[in-house]
Each structure stands twice: as C-alpha cells, then as structure tokens.
Amino acid sequence: MMVRVPDIPTEGLGVTDAAALGTVYRDPGWRLEDVQLRIERDGLDVFVTGELRATVTQTCGRCLEPLAATAAAAINVRLVPRPATGDTVELFADDLDVDFYEKDEFDLGALIEAETALALPMKPLCREGCLGLCPVCGGNRNVVACACPPRPADPRLAVLKDLAARLPH
Ligand SMILES: [Zn+2]
Ligand SMILES: [Zn+2]
C-alpha cells in the first residue's frame, strides 16, 4: 500500500484495519493479525509509530521443521526524502529508525514487512529443548531415536588441545 506524503493530513492518519492493507507480506505463510499505526507528517519528515502483531512461519534452527511464531513489533520509524548523492541526513539522537522515501511516497506494506522481520527471533526453536537433527544420519531426533554413535570429537577442538599442549606452561 503506497502512502503519498502530501496526502497525509495535518492531524495524521490512523491505520488500524489489517485487512484493508491487503497483501502485506510476500511470504504467504505470514499474516498480519493486528495493526495500530499512526502516520504523521512534519514538513517533509514522516513518522510511523505504533505496533503490530503477525503470525509467521519460521524454520526451527535445530530440526528444520516449520513452526508458527508470533511477531509483535513496536514501530518507531522516521522517513525522510532520500537525499541527493553526496548530501548527508541529519540524524536524531533518539532511537527512531530512519528510512527513506522517494518521489513523495512510501510503501507502508514494505515498512511493515521489514519491521516484522526485525522482530523475529534469529534462531527460533520449535520447542524448548528441541533435540535437532542427528549429525550422522540426519534423522529428526524429536521423532526417531536412531542408534547412531555419538558425534566424534570436533577435529578443530583436537587441534586446539594439541596447540595448548605444546605451549610452554
Ligand atoms: Zn526443532
Ligand atoms: Zn542418527
């Protein structure tokens, strides 16, 4: 959904209807559940503040099974016109994210998608204590208890130990 900056009224714009935004996420497994945003303008600066909640599909960092996660993000973004090459942008000292817009408009959907992605855990787990994949046979150890021997000692560790032994004590 493109928002034209000159069309933002002085009293600001409220975005509270997730359905009215249409398709926000490129990933069909992601869904915007709730959105409470204010879009305000101060001269050429645009401020987008509020919060959103989305359900997304992620992949467990250990067993690689898909999992449904909830992303809740607080949004505090300042948009400024993209500067001409060589110009610098004066940044505020507070912790607003600064983003750029071009040709008097910005894509609210893209902003929401980026903010949702930032709110996701980097290494999601399908459950506390997920057993992950067996390094030998690749089986999902949450599902099958395979009879593979335990993983041999990491050769990189052996090198370190060897090195430590040769250092003068
Ligand atoms: Zn897992
Ligand atoms: Zn195995």
Pairing of strands 2-4, 13-15: unpaired
Alpha carbon of 76 to ligand 1 centroid (Å): 32
Nearest one of 8, 52, 48 to 33, comparing CA atoms: 52
The amino acid at 95: D
Q: Which residues surround ligand 2, an ion (CB under 5 A)?
A: 134, 136-137, 139, 146, 148
**Helix (H) or strand (E) segment spanning residue 67:** strand 66-81
**Which residues is 68 bridged to in the sheet?**
57
- C-alpha 72 to ligand 2 mean position (Å): 37
The pLDDT tens digits for 71-117 are 999 999 999 998 877 666 666 656 568 889 999 999 999 999 999 99
Q: What is the pLDDT of residues 102-158, one digit of tens each?
A: 999 999 999 999 999 988 888 889 999 999 999 899 999 999 889 898 766 666 777
Q: How confident is the model at residue 169 (pLDDT cuts 50, 70, 90)?
A: low
Ligand 1 mean position, distance from CA 33 (Å): 25
